Amino acid sequence: MWVILKTLFYLGLGSWVLGRGTRAMSAEEKTTIRGQVLEMFEHAYGSYMKYAYPADELMPLSCRGRVRGQEPNRGDIDDSLGKFSLTLIDTLDTLVVLNKLEEFEEAVRKTVSEVRLDNDVVVSVFETNIRVLGGLLGAHVMADLLRGRGERMQWYQDELLHMAKDLGHRLLPAFNTTSGLPYPRVNLRYGVLNPLSRTGTESDTCTACAGTMILEFAALSRLSGEAVFEEHARKALDVLWEKRQRGSDLVGTVINIHNGDWVRRDSGVGAGIDSYYEYLMKAYILLGDSVYLERFNTHYSAIMKYISQPPLLLSVHMHNPTVSVRGWMDSLLAFFPGLQVLRGDLKPAIETHEMLYQVTKQHKFLPEAFTTEFRVHWGQHPLRPEFAESTYFLYKATGDPYYLKVGQSIVEKLNTHARVPCGFAAVQDVRTGTHEDRMDSFFLAEMFKYLYLLFSEKSQLPFDIDDYIFTTEAHLLPMSLSITQPPCQGNGTEPRTALEEDLFTHSCPSAQTLFPNNPSFAKTIRDGYKYLNGVGRPQRVSSIRGIELPLHDNGMEPVEFLKSMGISLTQLNEAGGAQLDSSGPKGVYRVKLIAEVSQTTEEEEVLPLIVQVISPPFLGRIVLTAGPAKFGMDLTKQENGVKGSIVKSAPYSACGPIENPAELRGSIALALRGDCMFAAKARRLQGAGAIGVIFVDHKEGSSSEATPLFQMVGDGGPTSDITVPLVFLFSREAAALTTALEEHRHVEVLLLPKEKPPEKPIGMNIQIHLAKEGEVQARQGKGTTIQLLLQPGDEDDEEEEPEAGGNLPTGGHCVSTATEEQAPPPQPCADAQTPPPTPDPSPADPESDP
């Protein structure tokens, strides 16, 4: 059966070559870029082995290893570190893909002889599964392959598989819950419920955390012969399926592991949910069980109905999916076009990928979160590989050399903006280009694997890549596992007759079916999203001043092209629109336009707050810039702010029962960011009697000067019960408070808003209509209206000065008409090359002051 699956699967990924558009990349060019990728990998991996091993990760700015407990706590980010040489294990099968077989054999020897898995460390079940268990399994599969060829690894006796089985048993205690959903954390030595485990108090986990176990656990079961792992992973998937919202077929982001109630009901395809959908599809491909495909198809239909608004992928409320819950997207959703390729839905995959590519053009990398207008929401970029992953899959599916150019841009940006002497450093803020002292293991496990494969031919790889499926961490598992043993008993789902099936519901895509005799179809899809953010539009030089439309030689009418870019044009009468004079240079048209202007909702801005230390000996001299929250008391409406003594919460994260309520009562609590939601912390501290909360960033060295302020958000549910003021301090500012607490027994602060900046100009929306001459006055109505008339002029008059009446050198004029309360005097339109006359700088004229 796996042969049939493989054939179906990779027929859809057969390449086809574009006839027009991007120039094909020569074999020499691909070899050069592949060599670059190899050199970059050697720099990153070599730096880890030289400066960091046996630590879990490399700190590329400090040129040393990151060891849990020896560096400042970063909150839940550190839950991936288990003192088990994480980066080494995560990189093992990458060494084989990159044909570094000697290095692989040496690394396996080190892993077998030096890595311990019985450490007294609390780790993330999800991260340990995908990175360490997946890394061990992928490396075992590669070692077994090389051993079978009789050339290398002859000493290997399945040691990596034994380590994987040991680790699997250490993760199993996390599944000891009433529902079958796993705890989010486990102690590698003591499990979950042991008094020495320091975990087991959590009640919630994310959907992806519970639903991203089946590939690794099923592979472990089928390679080791112990069915218990696959059974537990399947049970968790069964629970998530049963708990989906039956009306929308969507799932939420966070779920209670004991009773199965949804804690956060926002639903998308990014952080918190992403790999749950991925593993349903890939479980079908790897294991051959159609139940997983049926579930995936049900969810996918819901995603395309409610979440996908090409090229955007929004988050909605699972119970009311027509309502968007936020105006931004996170970078983890960049994996989704790759998953759509596996599903056979290439058109939306191309659309979303192109949108993401435009964002990278604007910001160099994908910001950790960005708005629907493609502005930065969270500026970090921890060298995530999801965009490279989707680029690879789209190239495999289309053979379009455009995606090789996209991959080349990724390589160049990494070398230019992330490379440092001791490896590659994450970007702390894409707006400033500042670096962060981290190089996560997934950078070596995934990024270099996808980039190397993108520029490689199958014949250049040490094995047939089409025989394997990628896990979410890009570890390789053989599709032959589907015939190793029958699927788990009882794996079933109720029949769904209402689900509409399409051509690819039970098979993989065929390029000829998708694009019959039209290999340039992908380009026509991309072209509609080429200038989403205004970056990269070609500049045309013309002696004629007119409206330039970025048209292409594709026969598309100008109006239709504008519509494809999201600009709606309407005609003023049914007889026809304005005449488009195409006698000039290509792409330049003289038209007569009317633009209706209306006030828009002002862009939401972050109004900073301040924390002022007012107790002796400071007496107000310490003033710290703080960020606000979207819930809790509105300090801008408190005339005198909120005053109180500060007390550290115990525990400092405020994610468990509060241990010092007597001290907190009537005081302002200090709590560390991380481990749970801001709203959960605020509720606990408010319940303990705190009159306010100051949240402290867990990221060492962060400051309001280097990182833009943001507004803390709730947990997706109602937050009206939280009434105390909440502020956020970056770690550098917060250090002033913690130092003061260490030196003085009583520290009193005042929370109040910072002085408001001057108001921004009102934003405007412009709706453009094409009109014939004589119809201009007919459209005048209520509200502010700008009438723009472009008329043919004599090119010889270009350098003439404007006359008093406001006539332009181009022969056009601009008239603004408004209601009497708003009407300004007529003004000449400013020309891009000829400035208006300089007004007389009379001291008595206030408007002459620049």
Radius of gyration of the chain (CA): 30
Residue 677, both tokens: 């939601």
Lowest mean pLDDT among 262-266, 469-473, 737-741: 737-741
Q: Which of 266, 345, 354, 386 is catalytic?
A: 386
Q: Which of 368, 429, 473, 675 is catalytic?
A: 368
701: helix, strand or coil: coil
* pLDDT (average), residues 228-244: 97
Residue 348 identity: P
Q: Which of 71, 105, 127, 663 is catalytic?
A: 127
Q: What percent of the chain has pLDDT over 90?
A: 60
Strand arrangement, sheet containing 813-817 = 570-571, 764-770, 592-599, 785-789, 813-817
* pLDDT (average), residues 80-109: 98
Query: What pLDDT does residue 501 have?
Result: 56
Query: What pLDDT does residue 375 have?
Result: 93
Question: Is pLDDT at 419 greater than 80 in this prediction?
Answer: yes
Active-site residue, 605 included: no
How far, in Å, CA of 216 to CA of 232, rounded? Answer: 12
How far, in Å, CA of 112 to CA of 29, rounded? Answer: 39
Residue-wise pLDDT tens digits, 312-338: 999 999 999 998 899 999 999 999 999
462 contacts 95 by C-beta, under 8 angstroms = no
Question: Is pLDDT at 509 greater than 60 in this prediction?
Answer: no
What would the DSSP string read from start to end of 548-614? E----SS---HHHHHHHTT---EESSTT-----B-SSSTTEEB-EEEEEEEE-PPPP----EEEEE-
Residue-wise pLDDT tens digits, 118-162: 999 999 999 999 999 999 999 999 999 999 999 899 999 999 999
Residue-wise pLDDT tens digits, 786-829: 444 444 444 443 333 333 333 333 333 333 333 333 434 444 33
136 contacts 101 by C-beta, under 8 angstroms = no
Residue-wise pLDDT tens digits, 638-694: 878 899 999 999 999 898 889 999 999 999 999 999 878 888 899 999 999 999 999
Residue-wise pLDDT tens digits, 745-757: 889 999 988 875 5
- What confidence tier does 743 reach under pLDDT thresholds 50, 70, 90? confident
Residue-wise pLDDT tens digits, 7-59: 334 434 443 344 445 678 999 999 999 999 999 999 999 999 999 999 999 99
How far, in Å, CA of 553 to CA of 515, rounded? Answer: 20
Lowest mean pLDDT among 170-184, 294-308, 471-485, 769-783: 769-783
Q: How far are the Cα atoms of 232, 276, 415, 847 from residue 168, in angstroms, in the given order?
A: 11, 19, 37, 74
Residue-wise pLDDT tens digits, 551-602: 333 334 444 444 444 454 444 443 333 444 444 444 444 444 444 343 434 4
Question: Is pLDDT at 544 greater than 70 in this prediction?
Answer: no
Active-site residue, 386 included: yes
Lowest mean pLDDT among 94-103, 512-521, 829-838: 829-838
* pLDDT (average), residues 449-465: 96
Query: What pLDDT does residue 720 have?
Result: 87
Query: What pLDDT does residue 515 have?
Result: 53
Q: Which of 274, 289, 440, 446 is catalytic?
A: 274
Query: What pLDDT does residue 492 have?
Result: 55
Residue-wise pLDDT tens digits, 369-398: 999 999 999 999 999 999 999 999 999 999
Question: Is pLDDT at 838 greater than 80 in this prediction?
Answer: no
C-alpha dihedral over 718, 723, 725, 728, to 10 degrees? -20
Active-site residue, 697 included: no
401: helix, strand or coil: coil
Query: What pLDDT does residue 259 have?
Result: 94
As a whole number, the mean pLDDT across the chain is: 81
Residue that wins the pLDDT comparison between 832 and 178: 178
Identify the DSSP state of 485: S
Lowest mean pLDDT among 243-247, 512-516, 713-717: 512-516
